[in-house]
Amino acid sequence: MTALRLDVSEVSALCINQQTGNTKNMNENISKNSTDDQSGWFESNEDSSSLDLAFAVQQPSLNPWDIVLCVSGTVIACENAIVVAIIFYTPALRTPMFLLIGSLATADLLAGLGLIVHFVFLYCIRSEVVGLVTVGLLVASFTASVSSLLAITIDRYLSLYNALTYYSERTVTRTYIMLILTWTVSTSLGLLPVLGWNCLKDISMCSIVKPLTKNNLIILSISFFMVFGMMLQLYMQICKIVCRHAHQIALQRHFLATSHYVTTRKGISTLAVILGAFAICWLPFAIYCLMGDYNYPSLYTYITFLPAIYNSMINPVIYAYRNQDIQKVLWTVCCSCFPNRLSFRSRSPSDV
């Protein structure tokens, strides 16, 4: 009987120890899960494999790169809104040249607003539909910006190549055709992610910019290289025409060779700055779009994408604020002088 009692007591003690151990393990698991949840909430999103422009299921931590994009978008929107307002409210600036500059400013304005909306709906208001619309807006606006630069280049070339017939109804018609083609193609490309050509359902199809698919981004990159090649060819032709015109003017007016050299160098330097700024801003991102993969660190995407955004920031400086007519309107507004009529000199695109 004594041995039986000892066995019963040992079994009871063993059961109590086992229950105590299970309770302790449960408490440790609960504590561990709580710690993991907290570390996941405060974990930095720097290891993200691609730049996510779409709606995410979990609330992301605040990314400094997204703050930079939002601030850049605000600056871009403000400076391009000024250009759009000047051209819209000044009837004298309704020439084909300024219509193309207005198209460029409108595209860059929409790009800036798209960056701001992306930040708001990424961190403040969660919506998958709005996220896709924002991505489509960014694709359409940047495509329209690059296409408008090509249209401006074509207009500059034709103003020099056909200088005698440039100020005609044919130029106006050609300008409207280029504007319609620019915004039709840009809008169509922007609608592709919204209409279903995205990688939200299959992550393996994603590019470095989620939710754009790899094929979509390749098409955009190849289109950019085609536009860049056309612009390079046109600016080379413009350089030849500028050099030939400067030489003819020097011979007619009996200028010295040094004066001809200075004039030619100034024109070529201006063209080099325009094309160089465009290439420096967009080429890194376009090349990375072809070579990068969705599992690459998002840091590479941000580093190459920011210069492309800054192209929309310097476009107003290169194409608008350097123009004397726009400067005159700005000075009039800043000085609070509103005369009934402003005098504008007829200018060609080569003066911009």
Mean pLDDT to the nearest integer, 278-299:
90
Q: What is the DSSP letter of 51?
A: E
Does position 40 have pLDDT exceeding 60, yes or no? no
Q: Which of 47, 74, 77, 39 is nearest to 63 (CA)?
A: 47
Q: How far is CA 150 from CA 42, 104, 134, 256, in A?
A: 45, 10, 24, 35
Q: Which fold has domain 47-233+284-328?
A: Rhopdopsin 7-helix transmembrane proteins (1.20.1070)
Coil vs helix vs strand at 295: coil
Count of other CB atoms within 10 angstroms of residue 304: 20
β partners of residue 209 = 51
Q: Which pTM was predicted?
A: 0.77
Q: What is the pLDDT of residue 131?
A: 80
Contact of 288 with 301, CB cutoff 8 Å: yes
Contact of 53 with 118, CB cutoff 8 Å: yes
Does position 196 have pLDDT exceeding 70, yes or no? yes
Residues 92-133: tens digit of each pLDDT: 888 888 999 999 999 999 999 999 998 888 887 777 778 888
Residues 304-318: tens digit of each pLDDT: 999 999 999 999 998
Residues 222-277: tens digit of each pLDDT: 999 999 999 999 988 988 887 777 666 666 665 555 554 555 566 677 778 888 89
Count of other CB atoms within 10 angstroms of residue 184: 12
Position 79, amino acid: E
Query: Among 24-28, 136-140, 176-180, 265-269, which stretch is predicted with the lowest mean pLDDT?
Result: 24-28
The ranges assigned to domains in the chain are 47-233+284-328
Q: Which of 73, 67, 155, 70 is nearest to 108 (CA)?
A: 73
Q: How far is CA 65 from CA 68, 108, 173, in A?
A: 5, 20, 43
Contact of 316 with 108, CB cutoff 8 Å: yes
Query: With pLDDT > 70 as the criterion, what percentage of the chain qualifies?
Result: 71
Position 343, amino acid: S
Residue 288, C-beta contacts closer than 8 angstroms, at least 6 positions apart: 208, 300, 301, 304
Q: Which of 154, 136, 151 is nearest to 103 (CA)?
A: 151
Taking the C-alpha atoms of residue 264 and residue 244, their distance in angstroms, rounded to an integer, is: 9
Coil vs helix vs strand at 64: helix
Position 304, amino acid: T
Residues 127-172: tens digit of each pLDDT: 777 888 889 999 999 999 999 999 999 998 888 888 777 778 888 8
Find how far residue 193's CA is from the centre of its chain. Answer: 16
